[in-house]
Structure 1
Amino acid sequence: MSDTYMMLAHFAQTWGLAYFVGVFLVVLAYALSPSRKGRFDAAARLPLSED
């Protein structure tokens, strides 16, 4: 394989992993944020409502 391909594959593997870890941490912080608890509790009760 060419050196360019190997370089790009290594770059994608390294920074792709860093990107997805960063996205995971942002989503985790959003989901566990205490300020969003009311909204998530209301969404959890929505299927049980009789409206």
Structure 2
Amino acid sequence: MCRERVVAGAWRVQPVTPPYRILRDEADLDAGLAEVRTAVIQKLANGPVQL
């Protein structure tokens, strides 16, 4: 994932980059979304997150 940035002086916005992958079916989509959700939830404890 990417480094933290300070935006507008006070907020530390943490970018989360979704993984690049080929989705072949709904199960692939669900797995990818679960991975992104986990990464976002972990970073939310430290401040706002940007996708």
TM-score between the two structures when normalised by the length of structure 2: 0.40
More helix by share: 1
Instruction: For CA contacts below 8 A with separation 6 or more, give which structure has more relative contact order.
Output: 2
TM-score (normalizing by structure 1): 0.40
